[in-house]
Each structure stands twice: as structure tokens, then as C-alpha cells.
Amino acid sequence: MSTASVEGPSEPQLGVGAALIEAALSPVRGIFSYIGEHALLLWLALAALFRKPFRLRLFLEQMEFVGVGSLTIIVLVGFFSGAVSAQQAIAALRIFNQERFVGATVGLSLAQELAPVFTALMIAARAGSGMATELGSMRITEQIDALTTFAVDPVQYLITPRIVATVLMMPIMTMVFNIVGLFGAYLYAIFLEHIDLGQFIEQFTYWTDPKDYIIGAVKSAVFGVTLSVAACYQGFNVRGGAKEVGLATTQAVVAGSVSVLVSDYFLIDIFHILWPYKS
Amino acid sequence: MTAPPSGSGDFSKRDERWQIRVRGLQKTFGPQHVLRGVDLDIERGRTNIVIGGSGQGKSVLMKHLMGLLKPDAGQIWVDGEDIVPLGTQQMGRLRRKFGMVFQYAALFDSMNVVENIAFPLIERYHLSRGEIMERVRDLLKRLDLAGVTGIEEKFPPQLSGGQRKRVGLARALIDRPEILLYDEPTTGLDPVAAKNVDEMISRTADDFGVTSVVISHDMASTFRIGDRISMLAGGKIIVSGTSEEVLASRLPELREFVETSGVAAAAAGAHP
């Protein structure tokens, strides 16, 4: 009796303590596990890149899917993003009577931020969702198992080309976004706001450097890694049926977009330490 | 009735009668103990059927035979070679002995019929397009697909369930495997199409001289084509033998399975 009365209260206290520690550690463990599994998939995909057989056709198909397939949406979004940026910049600069800086403002923000980030978000929504759906469908219909039965490494066959194609196409699509966005800003500023063309070009060429475009290109390549790994991971690991494929597609877009925005914050910090803004 | 195989003799030599030998196979997925010590022998050149209810681990067992899953415990010998410890490359070599026909064919959606069937050849060898097409067309003819208009250029969604199974079988056969694994081949087919698939399995076994392993819960099909039948229940093989031997078994799990399926009388008629 006495033993029971002493041990009785102590057990729940220990249980609560353990539960609290577990509750505190669980999200941390979850985050590390999440990052670790994605990193492992990336590692396996990269290791497979240097192993025979090399299937160039698969890489070209994926580059076509990620790049050419996304061209229309990138051009559309790029044009209006540039035009809207010019509109907002002019509205703000007009307070100081400095509208002539619109070319520089839009050029800089497009090169370093808007073009890589918006391109990445568009690719995550279009190509990332497509990747997750296709891989998920292949998983639930046993097509991935079928590959394995033919002694084909599914990571090398399916994941490596998608990641490499996205990484290669992202900087190209970002440049397309830059050019079209600047064109949109130019049309709005020159024809609707009657900004002087010479000043628009002069301020743009003075304030923007090749390094701004290099930063944008490097960032977009990193976004290409994060969004394609997120999409491939979600699709490749689907278990269940059509509902789970739909869920994986949603997760791919959400995870891809979040990974782009989070990595953008850290990348821009790193780049500003390496290459401070011109003053 | 033959008792379920047991014991752990020396299986490291090629046996003329038994091509695959499984002993003490165990597999757990989380809290689920799916296989609890499976002992199974697969007879060379015959149609071996593993029956069992849904969720009994039939597909899990089949995936082990081909090395798609690694067991928690137990051993599998294929032609005297223990496949459990094999690495990726060695497993790739071993898998060339196998062809697998998936439940819903698992054809690659992005490829047409010819590309699907030729896939193993393209991946494994450097053959000319002419050689590949010759072998593909030969198989299409032997599997009664050559008469279907425009079959070569069709994509999987354009095929009927039965045609898809045949194309899946053609893909499994193109590299001339020694062992063919069928995962629930008649699932999702109407009785006539299911009978056609059964005939296809029997004919393939005769024409190509392959060892067939069929996972099924279709008892009518089992007694039509099975040379050797084993039943998986509770994570173990509870009975193995010819259809007559299995039908004669008094094991309650088997009796329930056979009687519920309503084929006992028909099967008894077929095997007096």
C-alpha cells in the first residue's frame, strides 16, 4: 500500500516531463528529418548524374517541360510584374520628383529579387506540381516498381533529369523574366507616364551591373534545386491512391514556394555581404 | 496433400525440380507483421500459384522473390543463389532472370506500346532498331495483339484492360526471362477477359518454357491453370500441393476460402 502510494504520484509526473520534452523535441526532430530526407534524395540524384548510363533524351525532355512549357506564363507574369513595378516606383519617386530613377529601380529589383523569385514561384506552381503529379501517379500505378524490375534506378531515371533540368532552366527563364519585365516597365514609363527615354536608360545602365544579374542567376539556380527536390520528394514518396497524389501535388507547390522564399532571405543576406549595394 | 515445405537443407546448389526456395521469410512494416516465416518452393517450368486473402502479404512475398524488398529474416535461393545479401548491381543481374506482370500492367504512360515492350531491351542492350522491332512484332503476334489496328502507336490509356495485360506480358517476356511473376493477373477483368488471361498464362508457360509464379485470390482461375498451389494465411504458407491435394485438405482456412469462392464443386468436377 505504502509503496503504491509513493510510486503512484511520481509516475504521472515523469510521464508529463517526458511528454513535455517529447512535445518540444518533436517539431525539431521533424524539421531535421524533413530536411535530411530531401538532402538525401538530392545526394542520390546527384550521385546518379555521374553514373552510366547517361540518358540525354530524358534531360532534354525535362528541359523542354520546365523551360519551353513555362515560357508563356513567365512572359505574361514578367510583363505585368515589370509594368506594375514601374507604376509603383513612379508613384513613390514622384514624391521626391525623381521619376527618372524608375529604370534603375525596376531594373535592380527585377534583377535581384522579382525575376528569380517570381520565376521560381511560377515554375514551382506549373512544373513542380506537374512533377509531383506525374511521379505520384507512376508510384501508385507501380510504374516505378516496374522500372526497378528492369534493373533501372528510378532515382537516376526519374529524379536526376528533373532536378538538373530545373537547375539549368531556372537562370534562363529568369533572364527571360528580366527582359520582358523591363520591357513592360519601359512601355508603362515611356508611353503612359511620359518619362524621358534617355533618363530611363541612363539610370538603368548606371545603377545595374552584371553582378546583379549574376546574383539573380545564382539565386534562381538554387531555387531550382529547392523547388525541384521538394516536388520530386513529394511525388516519389506517395503512398495510397488518387487522393494522396492530389495531396502530394499541393504539398509540392507549398513546400517549393516556401523553400524559395526562405532560401531567398538567406541568399540575399549572403550576397549583400559579398557584394554590398552601390552607394 | 503435400505438407508445407520446411527444413533448412543445402539449397546453395541448382536443383532440377525447384527453381526458387524460400525459408523462414519474415517481414514487418511498422507494427504489422506481414510475413511470419514463409517456407515456399517454386517448381521449375510449372505454373505455381500462391493464393490467399486480401492483406495476407501475397504481393509482399512476390516482391521479395524479385529482390524489390529485403526481408527482416529468412533466405531466398534462386537457382541455388542466396539473393538476400546481394547488392544493387548483383541484384540487377539476377533480375534479368525475372519478368513481372503487374496487377494493372504498370505500363509507362509516356510511352507507346512499342516503346513499352522494347523498354528492357533498350535499357539493357545496344540493339539496332530493326532487331528491336523484329522482337516486338514477334511478341505482338504470339500474344494475339498484331491484329489490333494501330496497336504499335497506341498509348496505354487507349488500350482495353485485357490488351494492357498482354502488352505488360509482352514487356515482361521480351528479354526472355526464366521466371515470370504475375501479380493478381485477373483482377479488374470480366469473367471472359479473365479466362482469356488464364489461357494466355498457360500458353505462355508452354510456349516459352518459363516458370510461372502467380499471386491470386481468384480461385476459379487458380484451379484452371495451377500446377502447384500454395496458400498464404497468417503470414505463413499453410498448404502446398497440386490442385487435387489442396482441394483434399481439411484445413479450416483453406476450406473457408475454397467454399466461399464457390469453385469447390467446379474444381472437383475438373479434377475428379
Whole-complex ipTM: 0.81
Lowest mean pLDDT among B21-30, B104-113, B202-211: B202-211
Unique residue bearing C-alpha cell 517450368: B45
A138 to chain B, closest Cα gap in Å: 8
> What is the mean predicted confidence (pLDDT) over A230-258?
93
* Residue among B100, B103, B108 whose CB faces A149 most closely: B100
B120 to chain A, closest Cα gap in Å: 6
- With an 8 Å Cβ cutoff, are A148 and B123 in contact? no
* Residue among B106, B119, B124 whose CB faces A142 most closely: B106
Residue A29 scores a pLDDT above 60? yes
Position B155 scores a pLDDT of 95
Share of chain B above pLDDT 90, in %: 32
Domain boundaries, chain B: 112-176
CA distance B258 to B144: 32
- Evaluate whether B157 touches B110 at the Cβ level (below 8 Å): no
Residues of B in contact with A148 (CB under 8 A): 68
- Evaluate whether B41 touches B239 at the Cβ level (below 8 Å): no
> What is the mean predicted confidence (pLDDT) over A203-211?
89
CA distance A187 to A181: 10
- Evaluate whether B133 touches B152 at the Cβ level (below 8 Å): no
Residue of A134, A141, A157 to mutate when probing chain B, most B C-beta within 10 A: A141
Residue B4 scores a pLDDT above 70? no
CA distance B268 to A258: 64
Position A17 scores a pLDDT of 81
Question: Distance from CA of residue A122 to its chain's centroid?
Answer: 9
Q: In this predicted model, what pLDDT tens digit does every residue of A105-146 receive, in sequence order?
A: 999 999 989 999 999 999 999 999 999 999 999 999 999 999
pLDDT, greater one: A24 or A90: A90
Q: What is the DSSP letter of B67?
A: T
Residue A9 scores a pLDDT above 50? no
Residue B7 scores a pLDDT above 60? no
A136: three-class secondary structure by DSSP: helix
Unique residue bearing C-alpha cell 481439411: B250
A125 to chain B, closest Cα gap in Å: 21
- Residue A8: band (very low, low, confident or very high) from pLDDT cuts 50, 70, 90: very low
* Residue among A137, A143, A149 whose CB faces B98 most closely: A149
For B173, nearest residue in chain A (alpha carbons): A150
Position A237 scores a pLDDT of 93
For A148, nearest residue in chain B (alpha carbons): B68
Q: Which of A169-173, A265-269, B56-60, B250-254 has the highest mean pLDDT?
A: A169-173
Residue A13 scores a pLDDT above 60? no
Which of A252, A262, A259, A254 lies closest to A232, judged by CA? A252
Residue B92 scores a pLDDT above 80? yes
Q: Are strands B211-216 and B18-29 parallel, antiparallel or unpaired?
A: unpaired
> What is the mean predicted confidence (pLDDT) over B66-80?
90
For B98, nearest residue in chain A (alpha carbons): A149
- The contacts of residue B125 (CB under 8 Å, 6+ apart) are none
Question: Distance from CA of residue B268 to its chain's centroid?
Answer: 24
Q: Where are the alpha helices (DSSP H) in B96-154?
A: 113-124, 129-142
A74 to chain B, closest Cα gap in Å: 26
B85: three-class secondary structure by DSSP: coil
- With an 8 Å Cβ cutoff, are A148 and B68 in contact? yes
Which of B81, B62, B89, B85 lies closest to B73, judged by CA? B85
Which of A249, A252, A243 lies closest to A140, judged by CA? A243
For B65, nearest residue in chain A (alpha carbons): A149
- With an 8 Å Cβ cutoff, are B108 and A146 in contact? yes
Q: In this predicted model, what pLDDT tens digit does every residue of B124-182 receive, in sequence order?
A: 888 999 999 999 998 898 888 888 888 899 999 999 888 888 899 899 989 889 999 99
- Evaluate whether A223 touches A258 at the Cβ level (below 8 Å): no
Position B166 scores a pLDDT of 87
Position A10 scores a pLDDT of 47
Position A277 scores a pLDDT of 65
Q: Which residues of B touch A (CB under 8 A)?
A: 63, 66, 68, 88, 91-93, 95-96, 98-100, 102-104, 106-109, 119-120, 123-124
Task: Return mean pLDDT, chain B.
Answer: 85
- Residue B1: band (very low, low, confident or very high) from pLDDT cuts 50, 70, 90: very low
Residues of B in contact with A145 (CB under 8 A): 63, 68, 102, 106
Residue B270 scores a pLDDT above 50? no
Residue B2 scores a pLDDT above 70? no
Residue of B109, B115, B167, B169 to mutate when probing chain A, most A C-beta within 10 A: B109
Q: In this predicted model, what pLDDT tens digit does every residue of A58-94 receive, in sequence order?
A: 999 999 999 999 999 999 999 999 999 999 999 998 8
